[in-house]
Copies of this chain bind each other. A is one copy, B any other.
Amino acid sequence: MKYPLFITQHGELKRESNSLVFSGELIKKAIPLAQISEIHCLARVSLTSGAIDILSEKSIPVHFYTTKGDYKGSFINDASPRGKLHLKQAEHYLNPEKRAYIAQQMVQGIQNNMAFTLSRWGINPVKLNSISVEGSSMEELMGIEAQLWNLYYAYFGEVLGVKDFKRTRRPPEDEINALISYGNGVVYGLALSSVLKAGLDPSIGFLHEPSEKRYSLALDIADVFKPLYVFSTIKALIKNKVMKRSDFSRNKNSVYLSREGKRKFLEALTDTLRRTVYYKPWRRSMSYRFMMDYEARRLVRHLKGKSKYKAFKPWWR
């Protein structure tokens, strides 16, 4: 099973004999390439030409983020351009019925993941479950998705014991929102990575309209997994009292994670992503991280007409 590597320390990726090594301010460490699916640099990281050689040889993408967690750019070696798959993607987007089918499944997937996390936290999300996604048009789906998130934020506030929790962004106005914003930025990067690895065109989404600001397919896939990846991680951090006041920096109306706060969040996110659950059809375990890769691959199979894409639904307890 391969996992993403999050780099949270300033430093340099370089080659030493035949290994990739990260040399940071505090540590120097060989990177076990066989276990790495992609590298996310959330601190200032340099790439030596030797590192570029290895990364390109092994087709391991490297994504760069600003210190706020916004996506900045990638080093990509696309060993196999997938024009035919991109054409299939366009076909499914351009056909209203085909597009609506995929978008519906995605909204259903969001709802499934929301309900799953909430019931794990001891909540019976009656209001959330009462919403029906089936047979909705694209216009309806947009509304339903917004409604689902609003309900989820309210439930999540309840779980954390925060009264009248409100999602605020640009800027996040409190600690929880700072964690959500940072987490969403990173999960967007994870989704972009899953989508690129599957050979899909990240700019053609189904639920999100293609835009010139963000990769809409990465937004689609990220949304499905936010409850499982971001909100589970925040819940664990709060429950285990990991975060301290000093892990946040306040500035007028905005709250952001400090460097140490980011490190803590990413460590906990890595724990979440490495968690595995038994998947019967394979007779072996699947990691949380791989679920997203698998989602992108299932979409590929759907587009190629090999199997029907069905909403992701946590199958374990």
Contacts and interface: CB of A to CB of B under 8 A. Distances in A.
Interface residues of A, number: 47
A222 to B, nearest CB: 14
B82 A212 contact: yes
Given A52-B64, A64-B52, A76-B74, A81 B203 contact: yes
A145 interface: no
- What is the interface of chain A mostly: helix, strand, loop, or mixed? mixed
Contact of A90 (B10, B75, B90): B90
A76 B76 contact: yes
B80 A212 contact: yes
A44 B50 CA distance: 8
A87 B210 contact: yes
A238 interface: no
A204 interface: yes
Contact of A203 (B10, B64, B83, B210): B83
A48 interface: yes
Contact of A47 (B10, B47, B94, B201): B47
Nearest to A56: B73
Contact of A46 (B47, B55, B72, B93): B47
Contacts of A211: 81, 83
Nearest to A71: B77
Interface stretch (A104-112, A181-189, A213-221, A289-297): A213-221
A90 B91 CA distance: 8
Interface in A214-272: 214-216
Interface string A21-65: 000000000000000000001001111111111011000000010
**9 closest Cβ pairs, A-B complex:** A83-B210, A90-B90, A73-B77, A83-B203, A44-B49, A81-B203, A80-B212, A46-B48, A56-B73
